[in-house]
Chain A
Amino acid sequence: MTSDRDRLLDALKPPQPPPELRDRSLRAATDVLRRSPVPDRWTRIWESRPLRLAWAAAVAGLLVANTLIPTTPRPAPATAQGFSLHHLSQAAEDEIRAIATMPRLDLNARSLSGVVSAAAARTGAEETQSPNQKENA
Chain B
Amino acid sequence: MSIALDVKNLSKYYISGSKRLAVLEDINFTLEKEDTCAIIGPSGSGKTTLMGLCAGLDTPSSGEVFLQGLQLSKLTEDERAQVRNRYVGFVFQNFQLIPTLNALENVMVPAELQAMPSPSKLAKELLETVGLQDRLTHYPVQLSGGEQQRVALARAFINKPSILFADEPTGNLDDETSHQIESLLFDLNKQAGTTLVIVTHDLELAQKTQHIMRIKGGQLQDRIPRDSNDSDKASFISDLA
A and B together in one complex: no
Residue positions of A touching B, CB distance < 8 A: none
Residue positions of B touching A, CB distance < 8 A: none
